[in-house]
Amino acid sequence: NKTDIGLIGLAVMGENLALNMESKGWHVSVYNRTVPGVEEGVVERFINGRAKGKNIEGFTDIKAFVESIALPRKIMMMVRAGKPVDELMEQLFPLLSPGDILIDGGNSNYEDTNRRVKLAESKGFLFVGSGVSGGEEGALNGASIMPGGSEKAWQEVKPILQSIAAKALDGSPCCEWVGPAGSGHFVKMIHNGIEYGDMQLIAEAYWVMKNLLDLNNEEMADVFEYWNEGKLRSYLIEITSNILRHKDKAGGYLIDKILDTAGQKGTGKWSVINAMELGMPLGLIATAVFERSLSAQKDLRHLASKQFPHSHIMPVYNKVEFVKEIFSALYASKLVSYAQGFAVLQRASDTFDWQLNLASIARMWRGGCIIRSIFLNDIAAAFEAANKPEHLLLAPYFQQEIKTLIPGWKNLVAEAMKEELPVPAFSSALNYFYSLTSADLPANLVQAQRDYFGAHTFERKDELRGQFFHENWTGHGGDTKSGTYNV
Ligand code: NBP
């Protein structure tokens, strides 16, 4: 009586995914390595604890674990990303049968997944690199799952993965095939980058309400709760209002006691690095990542704040009107962030020939994951339209939305700057928007400078466009040009 699927790695994600699978009727084998003196008894603890009485078999011997699973085997790895995945694969290869499927559900780098898909296939196995979002709660009750890799594996793993995925409001599972190679992990990486952006934007909205409108925590929680009824309805807006109302045991608002230094585990940084590699702007997420880094320089900020005290005058605004402007800045900047993120996905798809379906990706993010929101329905609809938009902001619906948001958005950024209150993500988004919508930019001067000092050449605007010229700017330079290429 073989099991339907094996799961390796019984830390928080693995345990909860195993329980989720079992609750959907699957018979599950689980395995965790036993390192003497380190994590002894992980399997026993799980089997005798949360898995007690359930259709879950525990193994401490990897061979027995593999043999317990029905062919073609499906083995999901939920271990720390990086070397552990490679080590585990080396242990598994000699034990597998042709056609067996390995699924890496950790936060692996997509380039590692590219390599692992090839390696597994070269040995006659299939490999699925799948982003899983939703944390502990999603793992147990329904996650957003983004599988990519060996396409032949999809029909085999689809029933299990879709059964443990979250369901969007229309009932569809938040799990669809993403594409070949490391595309599933690439999509998960951009998801995490967008999450960084959303969090920074919400934090700026909070900061403006607190500092320019002098709203208290309950009033701000009311605003977020109100926004959660409208177009910004999302998990992150919802938890923000809960966080603002939360009191600790001493009876005070906990938010006011939390140190203002933000941590990061790297997926935001990876998103930005990969956008740079692809030559694509991803300024909003980059700003969110850099703001976390700057927030961590608490002592330096403290010192600098003594040297440059902000001249805060706390003008009396019409609070209702001003909150509407904050809404405009938040919504418009969020649009910019998603437009940038999806443009990076499109570029990656073109570059690596992944054939990504952007509408399907937007739909997969509607439930289970941290960035889930109703706004993703509008994004999916924009990408599904008969006339695919060149850019998300040029989709007819979003054009209309942005047009109504611009007045409040630019006014809010201008007011915050005058009041010396930082709103880096709101202003980064606005600058991107103005650059994007400028037919002319001062890059002509940048090209002239590059040619002046490095003979990097330039193109002309006139009928000679398409050829590269080098000017002898000083009268004593030579005619030798540098190679014309972009990196
Ligand atoms: P961790 O990322 O903390 O990984 C711990 C697991 O990896 C343990 O089972 C550990 O075994 C195992 N492991 C390690 Br470490 N090295 C190993 C090796 N060389 N061989 C075999 N197993 C090894 O756990 P997690 O937080 O559950 O995350 C699992 C994956 O899911 C990660 O890639 C993570 O980035 C990703 N993820 C996490 C979340 C989240 O909210 N936590 C959300 C989405 C995705 P041991 O017990 O013997 O040490």
Give the model confidence (pLDDT) of 21-31 as tens digits: 999 999 999 99
Give me the numbers of helices (H) and strands (E) for the chain, helices first please.
Answer: 19, 7
Does the pLDDT value for residue 38 go beyond 70? no
Regarding the beta carbon of 132 and ligand 1, being less than 6 Å apart is answered yes
Atom of ligand 1 nearest to the CA of 11: 27
Predicted confidence band at 265 (pLDDT cuts at 50, 70, 90)?
A: confident
Does the pLDDT value for residue 186 go beyond 80? yes
The predicted model gives 206-230 an average pLDDT of 97
The predicted model gives 332-340 an average pLDDT of 98
Q: What's the pLDDT at 268? A: 94
Regarding the beta carbon of 13 and ligand 1, being less than 6 Å apart is answered yes
- Strand pairing of 5-8 and 28-31? parallel
Does the pLDDT value for residue 482 go beyond 90? no
Containing 458, the helix (H) or strand (E) segment is none
Predicted confidence band at 486 (pLDDT cuts at 50, 70, 90)?
A: confident
Q: What's the pLDDT at 39? A: 57
Q: What is the residue-averaged pLDDT of the chain? A: 95
What is the percentage of the chain residues whose pLDDT exceeds 70?
99
Q: What's the pLDDT at 261? A: 94
Does the pLDDT value for residue 322 go beyond 60? yes
Q: What's the pLDDT at 451? A: 96
What are the chain's domains? 5-181 (3.40.50.720), 188-436 (1.10.1040.10), 442-487 (1.20.5.320)
Q: Mind listing the pLDDT tens digit for each residue in 39-71?
A: 568 999 999 999 999 999 999 999 999 999 999
Does the pLDDT value for residue 17 go beyond 70? yes
Does the pLDDT value for residue 404 go beyond 80? yes
CA distance 273 to 194: 14
Selecting among 22, 74, 188, 291, the annotated active-site residue is 188
Atom 42, ligand 1: which residue's CA is nearest?
135
Sequence-distant (≥ 6) Cβ neighbours of residue 179 within 8 angstroms = 148, 349, 354, 355, 356
Cα of 9 to ligand 1 centre, how many Å? Answer: 6
Regarding the beta carbon of 135 and ligand 1, being less than 6 Å apart is answered yes
Atom 41, ligand 1: which residue's CA is nearest?
135
Regarding the beta carbon of 221 and ligand 1, being less than 6 Å apart is answered no
Selecting among 15, 22, 156, 195, the annotated active-site residue is 195
Does the pLDDT value for residue 478 go beyond 80? no
The predicted model gives 377-384 an average pLDDT of 96
Whether the model pTM is above 0.90: yes
Q: Mind listing the pLDDT tens digit for each residue in 69-95?
A: 999 999 999 999 999 999 999 999 999
Tell me: is residue 484 an annotated ligand-binding position.
no
- Report helix, strand or coil for 342: helix
Does the pLDDT value for residue 477 go beyond 80? no
CA distance 42 to 33: 8
Q: What's the pLDDT at 327? A: 98
Q: What's the pLDDT at 264? A: 87
Does the pLDDT value for residue 484 go beyond 90? no
Q: What's the pLDDT at 316? A: 75
CA distance 351 to 359: 19
For a pocket test of ligand 1, which of 7, 13, 75, 267 has the largest count of ligand atoms closer than 8 A to its C-beta? 13
- 195 catalytic? Reply is yes
Q: Which residue in 361, 53, 360, 28 sits closest to 164, CA to CA? A: 28
CA distance 444 to 438: 13
Predicted confidence band at 155 (pLDDT cuts at 50, 70, 90)?
A: very high
Tell me: is residue 465 an annotated ligand-binding position.
no
Q: What's the pLDDT at 267? A: 87
Please count the residues of the chain. Answer: 487
Regarding the beta carbon of 107 and ligand 1, being less than 6 Å apart is answered yes
Predicted confidence band at 314 (pLDDT cuts at 50, 70, 90)?
A: confident
Q: What's the pLDDT at 40? A: 64
Q: What's the pLDDT at 37? A: 67
